[in-house]
Amino acid sequence: MPQARKANLDAAKKILTAHLENKGLRKTPERFAILEEIYTREDHFDVDELYISMKNKKYRVSRATVYNTLDVLVDCDLVTKHQFGRNLAQYEKSYGFKQHDHLICTECHKVMEFCDPRIQSIQNMVGEMLHFNVVHHSLIFYGSCTRSNCENKKDIPEEEAMGQETED
């Protein structure tokens, strides 16, 4: 594990420990195993993906434990929960990672991340103009990706794909 990723995981474990102690919750090995699994991932994931990943690595965790632990991790800002338009919540690690925004293909449901410093400038400007302390934002663009290997891309006539008009 790269040094920066290990440092983030170690800090996240300390934050989780303090949060559990503060809330009077048990510090179980399963909670820390789930945290570690999340912080070794590079993608967005849903509960079932995380649960299956944990089971495949022979962890003895229930689906309920995964759900409950994710709620705790969201509560202490170690994980961010997203609702990307489908009835399926997706999550991603958040401690030590820069603010970013998302593009979502409405056909293949691929989630892509991007970061543009102009968005932060807009956030700061709007906050100043409206006398509002913005502490977080979420920006999601929905559309169709133009990748040729988009898994759920609807078949379109070759002429349209090439930008040519068809005659009737």
Domain residue ranges of the chain, discontinuous segments joined by +: 1-97, 99-168
Q: Mean pLDDT of all residues in the chain?
A: 84
1-97: CATH, from 3.40.50.150, 3.60.21.10, 1.10.10.10, 1.10.10.1100 = 1.10.10.10
Cβ atoms 153, 108 nearer than 8 A: yes
Fold of 99-168: Dna Ligase; domain 1 (3.30.1490)
Q: What is the pLDDT of residue 150?
A: 77
Give Cα 144 to chain centroid, integer Å: 19
Report the C-alpha gap between 159 and 161 in whole angstroms. 5
State the pTM of this model: 0.71
| Tokens found for residue 56 | 């495949």
Structure confidence by residue, pLDDT tens digits, 52-106: 999 999 998 999 999 999 999 999 989 989 887 667 788 989 887 777 888 888 8
